[in-house]
Amino acid sequence: MADTYIRVSLPAVCFVWQIAMVVLFGVFIRYNEESDAHWPEYKKKQNITSDAENDFYYRYPSFQDVHVMIFVGFGFLMTFLKRYSFGGVGFNFLIAAFGLQWALLMQGWFHSLDYNTGKIYIGIENLINADFCCAGCLIAYGALLGKVSPVQLLVVTLFGITLFAVEEYIILNLLHCRDAGGSMVIHAFGGYYGLAISWVLYRQNLNQSKHLQGSVYHSDVFAMIGTLFLWMFWPSFNSAIANHGDGQHRAAINTYVALASSVLTAVAVSSLSHRTGKLDMVHIQNATLAGGVAMGASAEFMITPYGALIVGFCCGIISTFGFVVVTPFLERKLKLQDTCGIHNLHAVPGMLGGFISAIVAAAATELVSTLGLEGKFANRSPGTQGGYQAAGTCVAIAFGLVGGAIVGFILKIPIWGDPADDNCFDDEVYWEVPEDEETIHPVLEYNNHMTHKQQDM
Amino acid sequence: MADTYIRVSLPAVCFVWQIAMVVLFGVFIRYNEESDAHWPEYKKKQNITSDAENDFYYRYPSFQDVHVMIFVGFGFLMTFLKRYSFGGVGFNFLIAAFGLQWALLMQGWFHSLDYNTGKIYIGIENLINADFCCAGCLIAYGALLGKVSPVQLLVVTLFGITLFAVEEYIILNLLHCRDAGGSMVIHAFGGYYGLAISWVLYRQNLNQSKHLQGSVYHSDVFAMIGTLFLWMFWPSFNSAIANHGDGQHRAAINTYVALASSVLTAVAVSSLSHRTGKLDMVHIQNATLAGGVAMGASAEFMITPYGALIVGFCCGIISTFGFVVVTPFLERKLKLQDTCGIHNLHAVPGMLGGFISAIVAAAATELVSTLGLEGKFANRSPGTQGGYQAAGTCVAIAFGLVGGAIVGFILKIPIWGDPADDNCFDDEVYWEVPEDEETIHPVLEYNNHMTHKQQDM
Amino acid sequence: MADTYIRVSLPAVCFVWQIAMVVLFGVFIRYNEESDAHWPEYKKKQNITSDAENDFYYRYPSFQDVHVMIFVGFGFLMTFLKRYSFGGVGFNFLIAAFGLQWALLMQGWFHSLDYNTGKIYIGIENLINADFCCAGCLIAYGALLGKVSPVQLLVVTLFGITLFAVEEYIILNLLHCRDAGGSMVIHAFGGYYGLAISWVLYRQNLNQSKHLQGSVYHSDVFAMIGTLFLWMFWPSFNSAIANHGDGQHRAAINTYVALASSVLTAVAVSSLSHRTGKLDMVHIQNATLAGGVAMGASAEFMITPYGALIVGFCCGIISTFGFVVVTPFLERKLKLQDTCGIHNLHAVPGMLGGFISAIVAAAATELVSTLGLEGKFANRSPGTQGGYQAAGTCVAIAFGLVGGAIVGFILKIPIWGDPADDNCFDDEVYWEVPEDEETIHPVLEYNNHMTHKQQDM
């Protein structure tokens, strides 16, 4: 049995990193004009007459929806294992709480740094972006669920946020790709990052924990809380940082219909894959979301509502098929253990989303591409933009794979308190688990009974 | 035992209907001006100078609240059965995901069709209306919970959405009734639609599944998630499509106080109905919501806050009384099996809500009715409007009863894979249910023990 | 065994008080201008040209977030006990539903009464304040969880809301303290109110119910729903009634980062306090929220993002330390039984929040304090304001302690149907609890087995 003593490492990492955050925030982070008490002065100086210029509800409702997806959505989606619900929702909480602080800094340095003052000025939109940034790491956690220690997860987060900020800068600011809902920068990156880590951390004897790698009835219901909050708020996710006005409207509509379409095809394939047509909760919990992932990059495009339906249609099928066929194949042949199946929900649909956006951008008429994206394509033909969208997707995947491999090797150093192969998927390792009367009685009983039986003999 | 093989029918229905949606969306559905990338051109043409004219957050926060009610609210409310939580939340998800697509089309044809271009132009408000439309079918599902197959549910949804769009058109556009929160068009219609179907599908020997027609401790807690999200967001539901400005404010306030009042009277009657005053979770989960249902039609009226309190007061009593007395009576005497008691939560309070709106409209002073409803009554006296409100309620009930009876007979055709009488309320029939250690051990144990006992003899 | 018969008292209290609400609402409560159908007239009279002046979404999204915190946040946080989840979420629902009505009246009399007409005019902002007011009583419920009857809880609420409205009036309107997120008026008051009641109601033999005063696996997961909705929406809580514009932005940002910081230090201390570093769900469920409580009073101040991080850092530590050391100490030495540990989550962080706001206010530059708080400090120096903030905190605590002691003695009158010492933390007392197959079988089995064993002998 591995040494899962984390009483030194976990508090040390939490304290040291949190103190580092305080210091770095002290040096770098300030309120932006809209959040600063000097706003009335600024307003006068800039000749702003309307209070609507500083309306709190300009993007705040979207922020809260995204926030719910990160903490309740991802958190509860990972409670499906029978004895890893504490770790699923609890470590998700820890990762995101650390990640968003580090993301405010990393994204700040790349996007909001004022070179005159050397400060990062933050407002509500930075909070949304920080939450987005965390999503990448939480996706990666999906592949690692139950097999790593919380200290390892914090390391995954530290590097994940850093890599994210760099690839995001390259894709959005250098390549000028459009990716409002993060098909590439969040899902493809996060998916391949997690898969690469998991591949390096392959556990030969994981089947020793096989009895815990499944759900019980109520843990599946808990996971549906996560699924539904992700599903419902995905239109907000894809529209949160889209261009105000028609761009946001379109992003919400496209995502809404794509997700609806994914549900029907996920149900269809799930039913097809069982002897008598029974549905599998794993598919309903995950593959129904594939349409939202795939719509990310092109949500604000003029993809048309039926285009969005087709995207959802195909991704629901591909994702469910992935759960039925590809994940077992990857585990057997590629030695890739992917607890939540992020390959099917994030990596592949994210990659497809990137390529779909390339096709849609390339197919855009000059007029629409100019208008619809507020002149962002203005210096490029639609075809060129399409090429860049595809290139951006490849950059995201490359960052995920290479970064993940490196982080994986770092995590192999035997100092992080990770569980042994026969100890995975078990909250007992890192949590004080209450004695569960319902489970304990039968076991006691069983033992009594056995004793009794033996006495009889 | 009935044949519950759905491996052909369920995928076939999902695929065919989803493909039909893609085709119909392709032919009919386009972005409206506010969601279209040509908005800047349109804006110039219409001499619109302010960006506020296309603000995303104009109704979007209400949309998300309603969306949560449909998927988490209705979904989790139906997880209360001990072994039908997967079906409760999962089929709710399936119904709504299909229903909203079909609703965008049906409501589009009736309300948003542009006769010049032959297209339906959609925006955020259409999404809210589509969600509303699904609510009718989800209410109907409440009566059928545990007794029908997912294929049957999709049929219920197809016809339910169609009927909804027609009755809504008659009530709102022909009779010019006011029904912002849908007491008539959603709750009365949906309630009687479900009851009529359930009445036709009466199962003589349902008591063979009696052991599963109840809750366990944690399934009741899950159901409270549904109750609370419905309860909390009901002010958004009733105000989502009310007139902007004072109408929305009033709708939210009225619904908020009516719901609070329902909670106290539901608790009081629940306690009264037990020998020592214990509360029944069924009442808390359902009857506390009756005030919101009944306020639907008159939420935007000048009913006054104490008027709203009185509505909530009475409906909390009536609804709880319904659960205690009427539902068992209906089952015994009318052969009407209503799993969730939608008769008490939707049908009756919805009908009452319609009649309350008739009284409030008739009692309105000329001034208020003109002002408060932006001239919508302008050509009618308050008394006349009151008459129309009552007539609208009757139309909704008639559509529900007649439509439900017809759909019920369609569902009796033995091709839909519905469960046998001794197989109801059981997820095993349509879901791969995880082996639950907690439940399996005792049973195994019990069997072992029995064998053992027999050996002793 | 105590007499827990509440079939008379509970319905009587609910009916009488609800009727009183109807009458009082009828006499006092009216729609304000923005919610009244006469708005178009008022608008003309006041020369208001823009519809934005009456925008529904001005504060409504914040209202809904706060509403979720009250009902789902507080409600599910209290489901952690193994057999008191019905009471946790159900009585929370009852308290808040009554409390918000009474709060609309009490706060109305103190803050919104028009002396000419003798009416209280309400709008959306009053609903937010009524929800805030309930929070105080729900915090108090945390200390009493499992040990009182629903009738007693309604008494606690009646007095709690009354005291709240008075202390709020003194602190905000007489002392002119700033307390946007309610560190003093909500958390310090509510915390000490609950602790004082609990201290008076000390139960000598509570250890007779010790076997129920803990969680089971899934009840801890339910409680995480509460934790996360509180945590996520806390930025909305602290900014809901802050000054529009930069004040709200700042309140949201400060709360967001303070909460993130609390998570890391709570995890660190939790791990430190266990032999091998395992985490305790109680700490994760509660102490992670301490930063939000403590930021309440100074959320809208120019505390700077790193200042907010430091507040969260310290409060995460203090709160977790409280759960590990102080709560057991208080129970042993001070005879204070605090079921949810509100001392550590609300009382102490709330008090600290008040004093932090005193320091921040005193340290503000003249300019910032004038600008940032819209001239509210204009007639005072920052130092003086600091003194008043500290004084306000003391007033809140004094009201809590004295009021709580008095209410505690009222609750000792033996007419309220409270449970006996060996009957606490048990839903069986006030709820019809479903027979839980999972728990019943083993017990039956155990009995059978015993009989069998005896037969063998």
Rounded to two decimals, the ipTM of the complex is 0.93
Query: What is the residue-wise DSSP string for C95-163?
Result: HHHHHHHHHHHHHIIIIIEETTTTEEEE-HHHHHHHHHHHHHHHHHHHHHTTSS-HHHHHHHHHHHHHH
Contact with chain A for residue C56, Cβ under 8 A: no
d(CA C232, CA A68): 7
* CA nearest to C435 within chain B: B216
Least CB–CB distance from C35: residue in B221, B249, B276? B249
- Predicted local confidence at residue B156, as pLDDT: 98
Which of C51, C62, C229, C263 is the best mutation test for A, with the most CBs of A within 10 A?
C263
Q: Which residues in B lie closer than 8 A to residue C90 (C-beta atoms)?
A: 224, 279, 281, 284
* Domains of chain B, residue spans: 55-441
Stretch A334-352: mean pLDDT: 96
* CA nearest to A432 within chain C: C280
In this structure, what are the phi and psi dihedrals at residue B2, rounded to the nearest 5 degrees?
Answer: -70, 165
CA torsion B195-B199-B201-B203 (nearest 10°) is 120
- pLDDT tens figures, A220-234: 999 999 999 999 999
A118: left (phi over 0), alpha (psi -120 to 50) or beta: left
Stretch A10-33: mean pLDDT: 96
- pLDDT tier at C375 (50, 70, 90 boundaries)? very low
Partner chains of B (3+ C-beta pairs under 8 Å): A, C
In the structure encoding, which two tokens stand for residue A88, read together? 């699923």
Stretch C410-426: mean pLDDT: 94
**Residue appearing with tokens 């304001």:** C385
In the structure encoding, which two tokens stand for residue B43, read together? 């804006």
Helix (H, G, I), strand (E, B) or coil at B279: strand
- Predicted local confidence at residue C452, as pLDDT: 44
Q: Which helix (H) or strand (E) holds B31?
A: strand B29-31
Helix (H, G, I), strand (E, B) or coil at A43: helix
Contact with chain B for residue A257, Cβ under 8 A: yes
Q: Which of residues 417-446 of B touch A (CB under 8 A)?
A: 417, 429-439, 441-442, 445
* CA nearest to A5 within chain C: C276
Least CB–CB distance from A25: residue in C272, C309, C438? C309
- pLDDT tens figures, C62-110: 999 999 999 999 999 999 999 999 999 999 999 999 999 999 999 999 9
Q: Which residues in C lie closer than 8 A to residue B66 (C-beta atoms)?
A: none
The reply to whether residue C31 touches residue B261, judged by beta carbons under 8 angstroms, is no
Q: Which helix (H) or strand (E) holds C29?
A: strand C29-31
C199-224 CB burial, b ≥16 within 10 A, e <16: bbbebeebeebeebbbbbbbbbbbbb
CA-wise closest residue to A86 among B328, C218, B370? C218
Contact with chain C for residue B457, Cβ under 8 A: no
Helix (H, G, I), strand (E, B) or coil at B122: strand
The reply to whether residue B37 touches residue A271, judged by beta carbons under 8 angstroms, is no
Contact with chain A for residue B114, Cβ under 8 A: no
- Indicate the residue type of C102: W
d(CA A236, CA C51): 25
DSSP bridge pairs for C119? C114
Q: Is the dihedral of CA C282, C286, C287, C288 positive or negative?
A: positive
Percentage, residues of chain C above pLDDT 90 = 81
In contact, A231 and A259? CB cutoff 8 Å: yes
* CA nearest to A85 within chain C: C221
Q: Which residues in A lie closer than 8 A to residue B81 (C-beta atoms)?
A: none
A213 has pLDDT over 70: yes
Mean pLDDT of chain C: 91
Q: Which of residues 58-77 of A touch C (CB under 8 A)?
A: 60-61, 63-64, 67-68, 71-72, 75-76
Contact with chain A for residue C220, Cβ under 8 A: yes
Percentage, residues of chain C above pLDDT 70 = 91
Q: Which residues in A lie closer than 8 A to residue B161 (C-beta atoms)?
A: none
Which of C31, C428, C439, C443 is the best mutation test for B, with the most CBs of B within 10 A?
C31
Contact with chain B for residue A161, Cβ under 8 A: no
The reply to whether residue A245 touches residue B97, judged by beta carbons under 8 angstroms, is no
Least CB–CB distance from C434: residue in B216, B274, B445? B216
Residues 6+ apart with CB under 8 A from A234: A69, A255, A259, A289, A292
Determine whether domain C55-441 maps to CATH 1.10.3430.10.
yes
d(CA B80, CA B89): 10
Q: Which residues in C lie closer than 8 A to residue B221 (C-beta atoms)?
A: 79, 85-86, 89, 222
- Predicted local confidence at residue B197, as pLDDT: 98
The reply to whether residue A245 touches residue B56, judged by beta carbons under 8 angstroms, is yes
The reply to whether residue C41 touches residue B439, judged by beta carbons under 8 angstroms, is no
- pLDDT tens figures, C327-338: 999 999 999 999
For B220, B221, C295, the CA distances from B216, given in Å and listed in that order, are 6, 9, 40
Residues 6+ apart with CB under 8 A from A292: A181, A230, A231, A234, A237, A238, A255, A258, A259, A262
Least CB–CB distance from C14: residue in B57, B216, B264? B264
A363 has pLDDT over 80: yes
- Predicted local confidence at residue C454, as pLDDT: 44
> Along the 457 residues of chain B, how does pLDDT read in single tens digits?
468 899 999 999 999 999 999 999 999 999 998 888 887 788 788 877 766 667 777 789 999 999 999 999 999 999 999 999 999 999 999 999 999 999 999 999 999 899 999 999 999 999 999 999 999 999 999 999 999 999 999 999 999 999 999 999 999 999 999 999 999 999 999 999 999 999 999 999 999 999 999 999 999 999 999 999 999 999 999 999 998 888 999 999 999 999 999 999 999 999 999 999 999 999 999 999 999 999 999 999 999 999 999 999 999 999 999 999 999 999 999 999 999 999 999 999 999 999 999 999 998 876 555 444 544 555 688 889 999 999 999 999 999 999 999 999 999 999 899 999 999 999 999 999 997 654 444 444 444 444 444 444 4
Contact with chain C for residue B153, Cβ under 8 A: no
Please tell me the distance in Å from A93's CA to the nearest CA on chain C: 8
H-assigned helices in A119-149:
124-144
Least CB–CB distance from B217: residue in C9, C75, C436? C436
Helix (H, G, I), strand (E, B) or coil at C380: coil
A59-441: CATH topology is Ammonium transporter fold (1.10.3430)
Q: Which residues in A lie closer than 8 A to residue C215 (C-beta atoms)?
A: 434
- Predicted local confidence at residue A112, as pLDDT: 87
Contact with chain A for residue C218, Cβ under 8 A: yes
Contact with chain B for residue C124, Cβ under 8 A: yes
Contact with chain C for residue A150, Cβ under 8 A: yes
Tell me whether residue B364 is exposed, middle or buried, using C-beta atoms within 10 angstroms of its C-beta: 0 to 12, 13 to 18, 19 or more.
buried
Provide the angle, in degrees to the nearest 10, between the axes of the packed helices A382-412 and A189-200: 30
The reply to whether residue A232 touches residue B72, judged by beta carbons under 8 angstroms, is yes
Stretch A66-84: mean pLDDT: 97
- Predicted local confidence at residue B53, as pLDDT: 64
The reply to whether residue C72 touches residue B439, judged by beta carbons under 8 angstroms, is no
- Predicted local confidence at residue C453, as pLDDT: 42
d(CA A265, CA C126): 46
Please tell me the distance in Å from C98's CA to the nearest CA on chain A: 28
For A91, A429, B114, C6, C234, the CA distances from A74, given in Å and listed in that order, are 11, 22, 41, 43, 19
For A235, A393, C137, C210, C340, the CA distances from C141, given in Å and listed in that order, are 37, 52, 6, 19, 9
* CA nearest to C236 within chain A: A64
Partner chains of C (3+ C-beta pairs under 8 Å): A, B
The reply to whether residue C268 touches residue A14, judged by beta carbons under 8 angstroms, is yes
Contacts A–B by Cβ distance under 8 A: 235
